[in-house]
Amino acid sequence: MTITIKTLICLLPIICALPAYCADVAKFKPLTELYLDANKIQLKNPEGVACGKTAVLVADTGNGRLVSYARNNNELKNGVEIKLEQVPYPIRLEATVQGKVLALDGKSRKIAFLAADGSFVSYLDYKNVPLPIDIVPRSMTVDAGDNIYVVDALGMRVIVTDQTGTFLRQFPFPKETGFISDVAVDQRGGVYILDSMKGQVYKAAPDSKLFQPFVSGLQAHIYLAVSIDTDPQGRIYLLDQNDSAVVLLGPDGSFQGRYLSYGWRAGQINYPSQACLTENGIMIIADRNNSRIQLFKVQ
């Protein structure tokens, strides 16, 4: 069988496109699972996870505590228990650029600043925020400049403050939204909010004050997503809590795939509630109803 030059020329576009096609398809390779802290105490319904540069902090919600694991490449070790009376029921965490961690407490509905070792520093004290004065944070994130973005369930807006809590700006939720559960900021400063109820993602461009529909009709791929993250390539990761999966969207909002599945075994997830991404492409998932933390290499 001889391959003529003509045949090669015909196949050239396909051969050239193949690596690009393969690069777009992600793989979630299970790395490891964490079940215990350093004292062999089992995790119980962990709901939050924050990826720091040298440590990963876990909100061990069912035990009403935090657990700090030392991070060394793809491994998490030790697992130091941190019990804080100021954060008795942590439900969501977010690492800041400066190495602190923001912790949302489900009971008091306050956001706390924690030091890198997990010790309590202070609560986020909002200053000069426009009415309504009462703020009910549902979730939070930080941008590259360490400004804090808070999803305010009561004021139906995203509030942006600096690290001292001083108000910088706000984005009202679009009128047609169902329930906004999470916020993410990409590296260019684009702000995304996730409407869990309607399966939609809205985006505010870096120079905009308003959210515009970005992706809709996700109900075909998602039951109830609760967490949104972006990676340095601008891809968007949605965590489908009620049908236990990760849904990947391209930077343009195009559907790229649905990964992982419901189950109890290693590599399967069960009502995951938050995920974070490390700089070396590892996704750490708070696998809530499996009472564990799982690490996946995103390829």
Which residues of the chain form contacts with other proteins (CB under 8 A)? 35, 42-45, 62, 88-89, 106-107, 109, 136, 138, 153-156, 178-179, 197-198, 219, 223-224, 242-243, 263-265, 288-292
Which residue, 95 or 159, has its beta carbon nearer to other proteins? 159
Smallest separation, CB 101 to other proteins (Å): 20
Smallest separation, CB 154 to other proteins (Å): 6
User: Phi-psi region for residue 254, left (φ > 0), alpha (ψ -120 to 50) or beta?
Assistant: beta
Quote the distance between the C-alpha of residue 214 and its chain's center: 18
User: Phi-psi region for residue 145, left (φ > 0), alpha (ψ -120 to 50) or beta?
Assistant: alpha
Which residue, 45 or 147, has its beta carbon nearer to other proteins? 45
Smallest separation, CB 52 to other proteins (Å): 24
Smallest separation, CB 24 to other proteins (Å): 28
- Which residues have CB under 8 Å from 158's CB, separation 6+? 149, 150, 151, 152, 170, 171, 173, 183, 191, 193
Nearest CA-CA partner of 257 in 39, 11, 21, 63: 21
Tokens 């799982």, residue?
294
> By the 8 A CB rule, do 61 and 284 touch?
no
Which residue, 218 or 298, has its beta carbon nearer to other proteins? 218
> By the 8 A CB rule, do 274 and 281 touch?
no
Smallest separation, CB 138 to other proteins (Å): 7
Q: Which residues pair with 195 in a beta bridge?
A: 180, 200
Which residue, 256 or 270, has its beta carbon nearer to other proteins? 270
Which residue, 6 or 265, has its beta carbon nearer to other proteins? 265
